[in-house]
Amino acid sequence: MNKLKFSFLFILLFLISLSILYFYFSSPSNKKQILLANQVRYASLDSWINDDHLKAFNTFKISCKKLINLNPKKNMGAFINDKTTTYPLAGTVMDWLEPCKESFKLKINDNKGAMLYFQKWFLPFSISYSYSNNIFSKGDDLGLFTGYYEPLIEGSTIYTNEYKYPIYSYPENYIKVNLEDFNKSLKGKFIIGKITDNNFTPADTRQEIDKGAIQSKSQVLYWLKDDIDSFFLHIQGSGIIMLPNGKQERVMYNGNNGYDYYAIGTELIKKGYILKENISMQTIKEWLKNNPNKKNDILKLNKRYIFFKKSNSNFAKGSQNTSLIAMRSLAVDLKWIPLGVPLWVDIDNFGDEKKLKIKKLMISQDTGSAIKGIIRGDIFFGTGQEPGLLAGKLKQLGKYYILLPRKLIIKRNKTRNNE
């Protein structure tokens, strides 16, 4: 009997020890994320041959016009670790010059020609991630994909009882401080504040701005009819203002107040106002309109506030300062994925008609405060109501593959073989 008890206790302690080890090594908390890139074949990209590669090719050329004007020695950004070395995932600008220049020379007018161009000049790599010291994981290739669009919003250049919600320009007393200038270890980090009585203090929150905190320091570009439309314009980052005389004018992102973005849908789920499986931009808007007494308490939870400027462009523009193309422009986390590179996006609905199925070649041309993670994409759906309905619907897991210059990969492989 004692021997039986001893065996039971030994097994129990063994299992407990194994569980502790598992959670220690597998838990993402306090572990550094690691980007993994593994070469694959084009044949492994689901529906690759069925895509409209010509649209992707023309979108890529838009980014190439920006890339060829950069310093050839400049790193493309987004670094990856390989044993003891660290290098930019997509190489330097120099590695992209030849395929970009070739895209301008070629007169491609069909999908097959565009597909062959990508297959000639680039090699596909699956993107996945793991955590440091995680001996149990070989990498996860799934991440969150969402959508955004450019809304059409009713507005006016003058304040009236009908148009009373302001769209502000960037406040003249706001200052953006690059912390790397003070400490090299803080590269990429910055804070935004304002000068108050000769002191540098935090910028105003959404609630403070709504109460008039920046009225004397910022210009009102337009007055909108609806505060909910105004809130979602901030989330999208650009939009078209429809004036009473029928004229349409575009506004684009011109900075923020430095606070982290908070998704109010999280709070609505937490409080049980909307079921998690039903959450979308449309259901959030509907709830806000139907609950005016609770609306402001929810909106103020997102302290982040966006400022705008007028745009003379005929297209919405992203962080690369290029025109965004519907279903071809992708917003990514620039810490992991550089701007201007082709990405094969694979989002499956597994037969669920309520969800979207997207398998397309897109170009990273934008970013956003809510776009964080190695596998995280925000697809630009276009301008207007219908794209807005689709964009608001997308919140699914998916994967993507990055296309890297073939000559860059050959060069890297030679370097590794000589080590």
Whichever domain contains 228, its CATH number is 2.40.240.50
Which domain does 205 fall in, by range?
153-323+388-397
Q: Which two tokens stand for residue 219?
A: 């210009």
Give me the pLDDT at residue 284, please: 95
Please indicate, yes or no, if residue 212 is contained in any of the structural domains. Answer: yes
Please indicate, yes or no, if residue 146 is contained in any of the structural domains. Answer: no
Please indicate, yes or no, if residue 358 is contained in any of the structural domains. Answer: no
Please indicate, yes or no, if residue 186 is contained in any of the structural domains. Answer: yes
Give me the pLDDT at residue 3, please: 61
d(CA 200, CA 41): 54
d(CA 407, CA 67): 17
DSSP β-bridge partners for residue 97: none
Identity (one letter) of the amino acid at 382? Answer: G
Give me the pLDDT at residue 29, please: 45
Please indicate, yes or no, if residue 165 is contained in any of the structural domains. Answer: yes
Cβ-contact 378, 361 below 8 angstroms: no
SS (H, E, C) the chain: CHHHHHHHHHHHHHHHHHHHHHHHHHCCCCCCEEEEEEECCHHHCCCHHHCCHHHHHHHHHHHHHHHCCCCCCCECCCEEEECCEEEECCCECHHHHHHHHHHHHCCCCCHHHHHHHHHHHEEEEEEEEEECCCCCCCCECCEEEEEEEECEEEEECCCCCCCCEEEECCCCCEEEEEHHHCCHHHCCCEEEEEEECCEEEECCCHHHHHCCCCCCCCCEEEEECCHHHHHHHHHHCEEEEECCCCCEEEEEEEEECCCCCCCHHHHHHHCCCCCHHHCCHHHHHHHHHHCHHHHHHHHCCCCCCEEEEEECCCCCECCCCCECCCCCEEECCCCCCCCCCEEEEEECCCCCCCCCCEEEEEEEEECCCCCCCCCEEEEEEEECHHHHHHHHHCEEEEEEEEEEEHHHHHHHHHHHHCC
User: Is residue 249 within a helix (H) or strand (E), and if so which, with residue range?
Assistant: strand 248-256
User: Is residue 10 within a helix (H) or strand (E), and if so which, with residue range?
Assistant: helix 2-26
Average pLDDT for runs of 10 along the chain of length 419 = 59 58 47 86 97 98 96 90 78 97 96 97 94 60 95 96 97 92 85 90 96 95 96 94 96 94 94 92 95 96 96 90 96 95 96 92 93 95 93 94 97 77
Please indicate, yes or no, if residue 16 is contained in any of the structural domains. Answer: no
Taking 3-state DSSP, the helix, strand and coil percentages for the chain, each rounded to the nearest 5, stand at 35, 30, 35
Give me the pLDDT at residue 136, please: 46
d(CA 304, CA 281): 18
Q: Which two tokens stand for residue 163?
A: 């148009």
- 329-331 and 190-196 beta bridge pairing: unpaired
Q: What is the pTM of this model?
A: 0.84
Beginning with the edge strand found earlier in the chain, give each strand of the sheet holding 174-178 in spatial order.
Answer: 174-178, 190-196, 199-202
Please indicate, yes or no, if residue 343 is contained in any of the structural domains. Answer: no
Give me the pLDDT at residue 5, please: 61
Among the residues of 202-280, which ranges form H helices?
A: 206-210, 227-236, 264-270
Please indicate, yes or no, if residue 97 is contained in any of the structural domains. Answer: no
Q: Which two tokens stand for residue 214?
A: 């920046």
Q: How many structural domains comprise the chain?
A: 1
